[in-house]
Structures are given as structure tokens and as C-alpha cells.
Amino acid sequence: MKLNKLWFVLVAALLIFTACGSNQDKDSQSSKGDKANYHRIVSLMPSNTETLYKLGLGKDVVGVSTVDDYPKDVKNKKQFDAMKLNKEALMKAKPDLILAHESQKSSSKDTLDALKKDGVKVVYVKDAQSIDDVYDSFKQIGKVTGKQKQADKLVSDTKKKVNKVIDSVPEHQKKQNVFREVSSDPDLYTAGKGTFFDDMLTQLHAKNSFHNLKGWQKVSKEDIIRKNPAIMVNTAGQSDKEYKQMVEKRGGMKQVKAVKDGKLKSVNGDQISRPGPRIDEGLKELRDALYE
């Protein structure tokens, strides 16, 4: 089974970013300096794109990544492969602002540096490892685009929706031990601490089976058996039925509590992994999978 497309983009980029380090404040500037009046924006991450639309800047977006799919209007925008940026293709879009992900400071540094030298403003939006980080990204994008008031309102509105989901968690079912299966072929991968998903579980009063690991990590069947999760959540694209069949074929999994109790759930990987204005919807879907 192929990796979830958005997860692949995020993880591949983040691994490069982690290896190479970060100098965000310095590298976020371009030769244009700071001006909040951009009308030709290229957004290289779906979450950034959704934020721009929420801030009323959809009409100013001229380009998005190849994995952007929301809102529907993005289908009418020029598309760029965020993992293999092409300077000439980007320049044809005549952007005055490029919103990149923090990880692209390493994975696409040469291309983005060249664009900065040509006068394009490049801003690296912080990697959101928690729900609070998502709110910070709203403010960061609002500041650079001159939409601070709209960003503050977006933060306030989103917080209310998120808190409503959190408050709905059944008291008697809290502290469930949860394993997230990000990919299954060729290797099993999960999300550890320092990931957006780990914080989502914490907010929903659940426990990440692999909180002891950091970031996105490969695990074995034996590791899962030892952790004995009460719930297994799949975000790799299979249906509940397909996931159940896949787990049962692994052998030795029948002793795991989640398997014995039939708590094998598949959820929308993009919605759970996308740290943007619809985080309440992803949180709600995860809540429903955990506390049916």
C-alpha cells in the first residue's frame, strides 16, 4: 500500500529538515523587505493554502502544491511539486510572495534562495507540532500578509471549535492507549512525540503507544504487540475492513487488545495530518474513532 500522499511530503521533507537544521528568522526575508501587500501568492503546503483562503486571500493565490485539494478552487491554480521545485516554472507564475514549509529551507534551499535574490518574498511557515503551533502559523501568515485582525479571529474561532470537540470526550473512556499506523508497506511507520498527531491524542485525553519515540519512526509488529494498544488507528488509506484483514494477516496480533476487541479504525489521513483551519474536523474524526 502506498504511503498517504500528504504524509509522504511532510515526512520526507521533515527528515531532511531535521538533518540539516534551521535558521528561520534569517532565511525568511527577501530583498524586497517587509511589505504586507501581496497579490500573487504561491503556497507550497495545503495547510498554508487553506489559511490564506480563510483570511480572504484566495483570489491572490496564483499557485499551490500538487497535493493541495481544498478548497475546490485550488484546482484552478497553477500546481508545483513542493518536493522538486523548479525555479523557472515558479518564476512564470510571477509570484511576489511564496509561503513555504519550514522543512523546505533545507529540501528546496537553493531554488528558494535564488527566487529571493530575484526579489520574491519567501516566508517559511513554522512546522506545527501541536495545536498551539497551528494557531501560531495563522498569526505568522496573517502578519506577513497584513491580515493580523483576520488571523486573530481565525485563531479565536478555531479554538472555540477545537475546545468543543475536546470537551465532548467521555470522561469514563479517557486515557486510551492508541497506536497510529501511518504506513504499512514496505515498513510499518508510526507517529511519536513531537508530532501533530501526538498532540491531538493528548488533547483528546488519550495516550500515544509510541510517545517514547520522537517524530516519525519505523516500528515492528513485535513492538506493537509489546505496547498492546487498546485502539489501532490507520491513516494509510485502507477501509476499516481492509485494515482489519491486513492486521490479521500479520500473525501474532490476535493477542493485542485492539484486535481482540475489534478496535481497528481507519480515518482520513489528510484530515488528521493537516495542521490548518479545519483541525477541529480532523480532531472530531479522531475522537469518533477513539470514543464511538
At 81, the pLDDT band (50, 70, 90 cuts) reads very high
Does 8 have pLDDT greater than 80? no
Mean pLDDT, range 268-283, rounded to an integer: 93
Cell 487553506 found at: 50
Mean pLDDT, range 55-62, rounded to an integer: 98
What count of residues does the chain have?
292
**What's the pLDDT score for residue 284?**
97
**What's the pLDDT score for residue 97?**
98
Mean pLDDT, range 72-99, rounded to an integer: 97
- Check whether the bond before 275 is cis (ω within 30° of 0): no
3-state secondary structure of 195: coil
CATH fold for domain 171-290: Rossmann fold (3.40.50)
**What's the pLDDT score for residue 186?**
87
**What's the pLDDT score for residue 37?**
87
Mean pLDDT of the chain: 90
Say yes or no: do domains 5-164 and 171-290 share a fold.
Answer: yes
Q: Grid coordinates standing for 285? A: 474524526
3-state secondary structure of 216: strand
Residues 6+ apart with CB under 8 A from 42: 61, 62, 63, 64, 78, 80, 90, 93, 95, 97, 98, 99
pLDDT digits (tens, 9 = 90+) for 167-216: 999 988 889 999 999 998 889 999 999 999 999 999 999 999 999 999 99
Mean pLDDT, range 131-139, rounded to an integer: 98
CB atoms within 10 A of CB 118: 12
At 21, the pLDDT band (50, 70, 90 cuts) reads very low
Strand partners, 41: 61, 97
What is the Cα–Cα distance from 44 to 116, expressed in whole angstroms? 15
Structural contact between residues 48 and 125, judged by C-beta atoms closer than 8 angstroms: yes
Does 23 have pLDDT greater than 70? no
DSSP string of 56-96, one letter each residue: T-GGGEEEEETT---SGGGGGSEEE-TTS--HHHHHHT--S
What does CATH list as the number for 5-164? Answer: 3.40.50.1980
Mean pLDDT, range 224-238, rounded to an integer: 95
Show me where the domains of the chain are located: 5-164, 171-290
**What's the pLDDT score for residue 35?**
53
Structural contact between residues 46 and 271, judged by C-beta atoms closer than 8 angstroms: no
